[in-house]
C-alpha cells in the first residue's frame, strides 16, 4: 500500500517532517506531492540521506516524488 503525502502549499520544513514520519513506518513506496523546487530538493536530499531511492516526476507546476527502499 502506497503512503501518499500532499505537502503542496506547505513551507519547509513541513514537507520534510511529514515525509520523515512516513519513512519511519517503513512501508514503501511513499508518494510526496510538493509545489516548490525547494521542497522537492529538501525532501529528495533527506530521503537519499536515509538510503531511500527517489524518482521525481514533474506535473505542471508541481512535483511528485516516489520514494522506495
19-69 pLDDT, tens digit per residue, is 999 999 878 899 999 999 999 999 999 999 999 999 999 999 999 999 999
pTM over 0.85? The answer is yes
- Any bridge partners for residue 66, and if so which? 31, 55
Residue-level pLDDT at 24: 93
- Any bridge partners for residue 6, and if so which? 33
- Any bridge partners for residue 37, and if so which? none
Structural domains of the chain, with CATH = 3-68 (3.30.110.40)
Strands, E assignment, the chain: 3-6, 30-34, 53-59, 62-68
Amino acid at each position: 500500500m502506497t503512503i501518499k503525502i500532499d505537502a503542496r502549499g506547505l513551507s519547509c520544513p513541513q514537507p520534510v517532517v511529514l515525509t520523515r514520519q512516513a519513512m519511519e513506518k517503513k512501508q514503501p513506496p511513499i508518494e510526496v506531492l510538493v509545489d516548490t523546487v525547494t521542497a522537492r530538493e529538501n525532501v529528495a536530499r533527506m530521503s537519499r540521506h536515509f538510503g531511500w531511492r527517489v524518482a521525481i516526476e514533474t506535473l505542471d507546476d508541481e512535483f511528485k516524488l516516489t520514494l522506495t527502499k
